[in-house]
Amino acid sequence: MKDKNEELRQKRKANHVGGGIARIEKHHEQGKLTARERISLLLDENTFHEIGAFVEQRSTAFDLDKSVFPGDGVVTGFGKIHGRLVYVFSQDFTVLGGSLSESHSAKICRIMDLALKNGAPIIGLNDSGGARIQEGVVSLSGYSEIFFRNTRASGVVPQFSMIMGPCAGGAVYSPALTDFVFMVEDTSYMFVTGPNVVKTVTHESVSSEDLGGAKTHAEKSGVNHFTAQNDVEAIKKLRRLITYVPQNAYEEPPKTTTFSFSEKQSSSIERILPENNTMPYDCRQIINLLVDQDSFLEVQEDYAKNIVVGFGRLEGRSIGIVSNQPAELAGVLDINASRKGARFVRFCDSFNIPILVLEDVPGFLPGTDQEWNGIISHGAKLIYAFAEATVPRITVITRKAYGGAYCVMNSKSLGADLSYAWPTAEIAVMGARGAAEIIFKKEIRDAQNPTEKWLEKEAEYAEVFANPYRAAERGIVDDVILPSETRQVLIKGFEMLEKKAENLPLKKHGNIPL
């Protein structure tokens, strides 16, 4: 008995060295933590329970059976974050480059199945060279098994992907199917085909970093939602993000009981908007003054900066925030902003997180680039996402709300539960200058001084529409409120909507313009 217990202890010890001490040292030299070190940091102390530690790969091709690594390059199991259950897999790059074999995939699928049955988030710590090349098609099939589960779990349990090493080939598609992707600067890459293949096929010379590093995916593709300087920071960020989301689609997000807010926040909000309505300002100033102190967590902050999305709290309750950003491209909506906004809205709606929209939008970005690349379908995504969302939705129009962009940004007729406007709001089909030019074209052309006439007509149009009262008269906004009242109005509004129940017409699924 004693010997058998000792045998188990020895086997466990062996499991913990993955691909061997030399490879672990090399891994550490690159500034990376091992698969197990990452899990220890991610989970609350002593909460990790491993599953499948003795699973081995089964292939005999290319001498794979000559050196067998227990666990087959991935550590899987469950544990807790802030006392809440999560399922986790962590790929071990020291074992055949974290490559995905049939058994490696089966271990991941096992914990995904458990997560789905038990309604808890799935966290993948990815560090993998892709499909295990020696195994051939069974490893490819292993990827498909994971993709299938990612898709089935989508909208049921939150899924998070940490990219902590090279992720090539199939290794990128599972993260892309999850809700949030974190990347570590300098040590992580994501690409479908690496620089060598790119060189052969397209004759482009590009570094791994430029092709698929954290910065590239944060700024250019939008695949990366959160960038971290190292593994430790990435894990800390994930531990924070998870506090805003519920365990699954059938539960409410956790509520914090301690929060702070100073009255000074409410009064200083009056000073954010510039006197001149064409001047930019940073909408994050407004967000930070509305939500509980230090509670705003921005998502995709380096991508499509003309729209800001992120989580915050109002008296401890999670909300998702979507705001036009006048400091970037005057806050116009374009293809990337529409995609970014739509995906975030759908996440919030999937997981019962109420949505606040702060609107200051002059319109859609014009031009051939936008039209030829499909702003029509991409803009429609944002319309679809808002119109489909059944979570409580409140819009506050702070300044401009023009044209189609007004409609898109969670307008009342698109189903917003409550719609407010600040006294500075301008709600019209277009800006006064452009409007005057079109509807008074003849009068301006025939005037003795056309410029003077144009200015006069512009002022006339602005007098009628550059305010919130025409919309309020029609009930298109529910009330005109002072900036300093806004936080309290939102708290009361979301409280009133807490038990909102709305069902979509029965259907298999809608057909969002992809």
What positions carry a catalytic annotation?
169-170, 404-405
If binding is defined by CB under 6 A, does position 168 make contact with ligand HXC? yes
Half-sphere exposure of 135 (CA within 13 A, CB side): 23
β-bridge partners, 180: 160
Cα–chain center distance at 52: 31
Supply the minimum distance, in Å, between the C-beta of residue 465 and ligand HXC: 52
Q: Is 142 in the site for ligand HXC (CB under 6 A)?
A: no
Candidate list 133, 198, 272, 480; residue touching ligand HXC; CB under 6 A: 133
Task: Report residue 279 CA to chain centroid gap.
Answer: 29
248-287 residues in contact with ligand HXC (CB under 6 A) are none
Q: Which stretch binds ligand HXC (CB under 6 A): 52-60, 165-173, 255-263, 269-277?
A: 165-173
Q: Which is nearer to ligand HXC, 127 or 360 (CB)?
A: 127
Q: Which residues of 153-172 are buried (b: 16+ CB within 10 A; e: fewer)?
A: bbbebbbbbbbbbbbbbbbb
315-354 positions binding ligand HXC, by CB under 6 A: none
Query: Is the separation of the CB atoms in 279 and 356 below 8 Å?
Result: no
Q: Which of 121, 124, 129, 354 binds ligand HXC (CB under 6 A)?
A: 129
Q: Which two tokens stand for residue 255?
A: 């509520």
Q: At 67, phi and psi to the nearest 5?
A: -130, 105
* Strand boundaries in 207-354, DSSP class E: 226-228, 297-299, 307-314, 317-324
Q: Residue 472: enclosing H or E segment and its boundaries? A: helix 469-473
Interface segment toward ligand HXC; rule CB under 6 A; list 4-12, 126-134, 421-429, 456-464: 126-134
Q: The tokens of 126 are what?
A: 């990815």
Q: Per-residue x/- marks for ligand HXC, 64-103, CB under 6 A? A: --------------------------------xx-x----
Residues whose CB is less than 8 angstroms from the CB of residue 257 and which lie 6 or more positions away in sequence, other chains included: 316
Stretch that binds ligand HXC, among 79-87, 169-177, 309-317, 354-362 (CB under 6 A): 169-177
Q: Is 130 in the site for ligand HXC (CB under 6 A)?
A: yes
Residue with smaller CB distance to ligand HXC, 191 or 465? 191
Least distance (Å) between residue 99 CB and ligand HXC: 3
Give dist(CA 251, CA 228) in Å, integer. Answer: 29
Query: Regarding beta strands 122-128 and 393-402, do their DSSP bridges make them parallel or antiparallel, or are they unpaired?
Result: unpaired
Site string for ligand HXC, 180-199 (x = CB under 6 A): --------------x-----
d(CA 391, CA 164): 34
Q: Smaller CB distance to ligand HXC: residue 98 or 354? A: 98
Q: Which of 71, 158, 166, 431 binds ligand HXC (CB under 6 A)?
A: 166
Binding site for ligand HXC (CB under 6 A): 96-97, 99, 129-134, 140, 143, 166, 168-170, 173, 194
